[in-house]
């Protein structure tokens, strides 16, 4: 989840030109080959799990004249590499049978005919968490299945909070979250104690992290980014609930409780008391900062609704429309996201389960911090908007956050929202 797929307009245009590929081939031992591309390297822990699971797939189906072949195509820091190869394959009609894609881009890939529905082949969908089905569904058809789930929460340094006079037993839980006002009070206490920002909210990010992590504040206020049918942004994004959410974020900046220019690894090196980050930071803390005693608390909520909402979604597996053996391609997608694959990945990296069956296993094995994320996800997870215009919608949201962070120049939040809602609407109208 640290890196994100943002589909460019040029890529979307190329989708329309997808033709028939020769994705099915026969290898030297006479077996049909099902090809799969993934966006990570074979030497990282997630990649090693994928390789192991493909080997297990081939062993299980060795008598079926089928062999899966995985190709690792790591993404570069700016999202290139993997996307570049997908772009090239679209223009030359050489897509593999199975690809990975980031969750919110499901609609763009599905609408353009790059990926095919899985419903005919995947029958155990009731085992999938609702957030996973929501993320992978377009026009009531399941097109992709997440390999893992994710979430975001507030990491806090136990020692620093205690030294500031905070009773850790009074901190919020998923069952009893704090309101924005209560969280502001905590931030005030910590800023006064340490004369530094209380939390790094990662507002310096100019990527999908902003949309992923901050939309829950809008949802908590009973707002939304676009309408449920995916057709409207104007009159949705620029309504009062979004103003309230953006006002909270802007207040955090105005009061100096957070900053657009945080010290790098400030939480990890115990300079800041808290950090707003995803589940992946659990692995970083365990590997690189094992001496830091920390906890995780859920999102603060709108004082009007008291409704806790958290983000969900990550990368997915999908079969391509051009696969010449969809039954086996879909079987490979199902295999890579089944209970055994999911449990193995969760045990290897900080990844949340995508299935109820794997959740039952991991809840007994996860750390206290991971179980906070798991409970928050299961009870309050919300997928990002599913729309073919998502690349433009998310860019407009990210620009909104950047604009309101310059609060001296953009005091009128409503005006900022009106501007970017119009941008979103234009993109939606063109995509539909």
Q: What is the pLDDT of residues 147-157, one digit of tens each?
A: 999 999 999 99
What predicted TM-score, i.e. pTM, was given to this entire model?
0.89
Could you tell me which residues come within 8 angstroms of residue 93 by beta carbon, excluding any fewer than 6 positions away? 18, 19, 20, 21, 22, 322
> What do you get for the CA distance between the two ends of the chain, in Å?
28
CB 257 within 8 A of CB 188: yes
> What are residue 38's DSSP bridge partners?
72
Average pLDDT, the chain: 91
Q: Among 25-29, 320-324, 345-349, 369-373, which stretch is predicted with the lowest mean pLDDT?
A: 25-29
pLDDT at 419 over 90: yes
pLDDT for the residue numbered 2: 42
pLDDT for the residue numbered 83: 81
Residue 144 sits at φ, ψ, to 5 deg, of: -155, 155
302-334 pLDDT, tens digit per residue, is: 999 999 999 999 899 999 999 999 999 999 999
CB 73 within 8 A of CB 85: yes
The percentage of the chain sitting over the pLDDT mark of 90, rounded to a whole number, equals 81
Cβ neighbours of 365 (radius 10 Å): 11
pLDDT for the residue numbered 86: 85
Residue 30: pLDDT band with limits 50, 70, 90: low
What DSSP letter does each residue of 165-186 carry, written as one string? T--GGGS--SSSPPBHHHHHHH
For residue 349, the SS3 value is coil
Torsional class of 399: left (φ above 0), alpha (ψ -120 to 50), beta (otherwise): alpha
The separation between CA 303 and the C-alpha centre of its own chain, rounded to angstroms, equals 26
pLDDT for the residue numbered 22: 46
Answer with the residue of higher pLDDT: 17 or 295. 295
CB 296 within 8 A of CB 372: yes
pLDDT at 20 over 60: no
pLDDT for the residue numbered 28: 54
**Closest by CA position to 341, among listed 46, 53, 42, 51:** 53
pLDDT at 421 over 50: yes
Side-chain half-sphere CA neighbours of 109 within 13 A? 35
Cα–Cα distance list, 239 to 223, 321, 429 (Å): 7, 39, 19
268-307 pLDDT, tens digit per residue, is: 999 999 999 999 999 999 999 999 999 999 999 999 999 9
């Amino acid at each position: 989840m640290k890196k994100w797929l943002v589909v460019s307009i040029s890529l979307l245009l190329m989708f329309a030109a997808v033709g028939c590929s020769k994705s099915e081939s026969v290898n030297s031992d006479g077996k049909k080959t099902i090809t799969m591309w993934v966006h990570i390297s074979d030497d990282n822990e997630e990649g090693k799990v994928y390789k192991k699971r493909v080997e297990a797939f081939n062993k299980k189906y060795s008598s079926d004249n089928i062999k899966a072949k995985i190709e690792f195509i790591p993404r570069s820091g700016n999202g290139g590499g993997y996307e570049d190869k997908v772009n090239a394959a679209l223009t030359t009609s050489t897509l593999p049978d199975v690809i990975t894609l980031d969750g919110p881009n499901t609609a763009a890939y599905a609408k353009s005919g790059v990926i095919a529905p899985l419903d005919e082949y995947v029958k155990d969908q009731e085992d999938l968490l609702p957030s996973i089905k929501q993320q992978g569904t377009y026009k009531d058809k399941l097109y992709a299945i997440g390999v893992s789930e994710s979430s975001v929460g507030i990491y806090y340094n136990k020692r620093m909070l205690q030294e500031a006079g905070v009773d850790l037993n009074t901190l919020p839980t998923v069952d009893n979250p704090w309101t924005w006002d209560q969280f502001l009070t905590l931030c005030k206490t910590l800023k006064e104690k340490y004369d530094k920002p209380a939390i790094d909210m990662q507002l310096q990010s100019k990527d999908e992290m902003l949309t992923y992590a901050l939309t829950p504040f809008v949802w908590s206020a009973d707002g939304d980014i676009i309408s449920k049918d995916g057709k409207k942004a104007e009159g949705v994004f620029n309504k009062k609930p979004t103003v309230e959410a953006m006002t909270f974020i802007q207040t955090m900046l105005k009061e100096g409780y957070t900053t657009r220019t945080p010290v790098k690894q400030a939480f990890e090196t115990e300079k800041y008391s808290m950090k707003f980050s995803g589940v992946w930071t659990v692995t970083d803390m365990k590997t690189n900062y094992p001496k830091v005693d920390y906890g995780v608390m859920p999102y603060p909520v709108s004082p009007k609704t008291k409704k806790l909402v958290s983000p969900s979604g990550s990368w997915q597996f999908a079969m391509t429309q051009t696969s010449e053996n969809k039954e086996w391609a879909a079987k490979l997608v199902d295999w890579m996201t089944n209970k055994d694959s999911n449990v193995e990945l969760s045990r290897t990296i900080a990844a949340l389960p995508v299935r109820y069956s794997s959740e039952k296993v991991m809840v007994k094995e996860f750390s206290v911090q991971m179980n906070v994320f798991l409970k928050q996800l299961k009870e309050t997870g919300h997928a990002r908007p599913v729309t073919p215009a998502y690349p433009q919608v998310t860019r407009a949201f990210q620009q909104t956050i950047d604009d309101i962070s310059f609060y001296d120049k953009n005091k009128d939040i409503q005006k900022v929202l009106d501007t970017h809602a119009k941008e979103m609407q234009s993109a939606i109208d063109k995509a539909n």
